[in-house]
């Protein structure tokens, strides 16, 4: 199963279909936009014109490459219920998402059903990947304090396509090892790189497995609980959607504010309590505790898309 069919998801799905994988399930909530074409290789200008959902456009292209692969395309906003209903059936999950909220849900679902998954992320020229094996390796919850995160996203600082392909190369290779029963060949390391700066790091993380981790050691799966999930609410009469992060998420307001200052955003404003800016036709206000107002829409899905683009 591939969760997210953007840059990482479109590239990894094509590699696996060409490799002859028998069945792939694609999950993504979004449709194809012009800005996607720079790095999301399965899509075309025709898909942009038709606002084709990414999973549908991807399936059409992938079936033309290999008609023998069974491809399930699910146009959904991936959450706990969606993953809980299918995770037990799959062999391995590829993380190709754009936010840590979904990744932490993937992490706990995979711990719950004892499924391996391959974490991957990239922005600008930087990328990182790690294969999580339940009961054997640290999980993402264990590693959260060791993974750099400055709030940058592909939409705020861009990304170069070679960084995508480097992450995909690592992710897909690990998946092929798992599908062919070659676990002894797995990397076992957190791999990070910056192509622009000619830097690469491979970190042995076995000792970072936390005996008190609620996800992989205590089997409490905190990220599957309601209070840990992102919540949206349409504010009556205001053409605004409010978004609250889960109670367990830490929001680094000062760091976030400093990052936004460098982006030359329209009508940027900040004070000790909030930061606001405009992305025509929307106005986004982020409070010190991470609570966010998306003015200019009543659509929770549209609001969440903007939230993950700019709040990260």
Q: Give the tens place of pLDDT for each residue, 240-262.
A: 999 987 765 667 888 888 888 88
Owner of token pair 């491979």: 202
The answer, yes or no, to whether residue 312 has pLDDT greater than 90, is no
DSSP 3-state assignment of 17? Answer: helix
β-sheet with 274-279: strand ranges across: 231-235, 240-244, 292-295, 282-287, 274-279, 266-270
By percentage, how much of the chain surpasses pLDDT 90?
68
Query: How many other C-beta atoms can be found within 10 angstroms of the C-beta atom of residue 104?
Result: 23
8, 108, 24: which is closest to 62 by C-alpha?
Answer: 24
As a whole number of angstroms, the distance between CA 120 and CA 53 comes to 22
Predicted local distance difference test score (pLDDT) of residue 133: 97
The answer, yes or no, to whether residue 302 has pLDDT greater than 60, is yes
Catalytic status, residue 110? no
Q: Which of these is catalytic: 154, 213, 216, 236? A: 154
Boundaries of CATH 3.40.50.720 in the chain? 2-224
On the CB side of 179, CA atoms within 13 Å amount to 20
Structure tokens at 261: 């200052």
The answer, yes or no, to whether residue 194 has pLDDT greater than 90, is yes
As a whole number of angstroms, the distance between CA 180 and CA 158 comes to 35
Structure tokens at 89: 């059936």
Q: 230-310 has which fold?
A: TATA-Binding Protein (3.30.310)
Structure tokens at 81: 């219920």
Task: Report whether the peptide linkage leading into residue 281 is cis, meaning its omega lies within 30 degrees of zero.
Answer: yes
pLDDT in tens, 95-152: 999 888 889 999 999 999 999 999 999 999 999 999 999 999 999 999 987 776 666 6
Structure tokens at 246: 């889960």
Architecture of domain 2-224: 3-Layer(aba) Sandwich (3.40)
Boundaries of CATH 3.30.310 in the chain? 230-310
pLDDT in tens, 25-58: 999 988 898 988 999 999 999 999 998 999 999 9
Predicted local distance difference test score (pLDDT) of residue 237: 74
Between residues 72 and 253, which one has the greater pLDDT?
72
Crossing angle of helices 54-65/7-19, nearest 10°?
Answer: 20
Q: Given CA atoms 158, 161, 166, 167 in this order, what sign does their dihedral have? A: positive
As a whole number of angstroms, the distance between CA 269 and CA 276 comes to 5
pTM: 0.83
47, 215, 197: which is closest to 143 by C-alpha?
Answer: 215
Q: Are 205 and 198 within 8 A, CB to CB?
A: no
- Confidence category of residue 84, pLDDT binned at 50, 70, 90: very high
């Amino acid at each position: 199963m591939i969760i997210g069919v953007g840059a990482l998801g479109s590239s990894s799905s094509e590699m696996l279909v060409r490799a002859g994988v028998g069945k792939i399930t694609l999950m993504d909530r979004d449709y194809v936009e012009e800005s996607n074409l720079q790095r999301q290789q399965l899509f075309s200008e025709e898909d942009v014109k038709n606002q084709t959902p990414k999973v549908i456009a991807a399936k059409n292209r992938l079936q033309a490459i290999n008609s023998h692969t069974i491809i399930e395309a699910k146009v959904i906003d991936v959450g706990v219920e969606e993953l809980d209903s299918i995770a037990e059936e799959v062999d391995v999950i590829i993380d190709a998402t754009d936010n840590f909220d979904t990744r932490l849900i993937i992490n706990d679902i995979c711990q719950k059903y004892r499924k391996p998954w391959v974490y991957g992320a990239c922005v600008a020229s930087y990328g990182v990947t790690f294969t999580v094996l339940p009961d054997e390796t640290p999980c993402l919850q264990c590693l959260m304090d060791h993974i750099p995160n400055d709030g940058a996203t592909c939409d705020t600082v861009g990304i170069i396509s070679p960084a995508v392909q480097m992450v995909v190369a690592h992710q897909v290779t690990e998946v092929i090892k798992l599908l062919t029963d070659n676990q002894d060949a797995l990397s076992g390391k957190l791999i990070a790189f910056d192509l622009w700066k000619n830097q690469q790091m491979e970190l042995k993380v076995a000792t970072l497995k936390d005996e008190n981790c609620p996800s992989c050691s205590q089997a409490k799966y905190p990220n599957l609980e309601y209070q840990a999930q992102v919540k949206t609410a349409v504010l009556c009469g205001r053409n605004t959607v409010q978004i609250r992060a889960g109670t367990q998420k830490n929001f680094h307001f000062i760091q976030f504010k400093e990052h936004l200052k460098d982006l030359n955003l329209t009508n940027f404003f900040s004070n000790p309590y909030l930061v606001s800016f405009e992305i025509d036709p929307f106005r986004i206000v982020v409070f010190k505790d991470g609570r966010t107002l998306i003015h200019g829409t009543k659509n929770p899905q549209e609001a969440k898309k903007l939230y993950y683009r700019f709040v990260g």
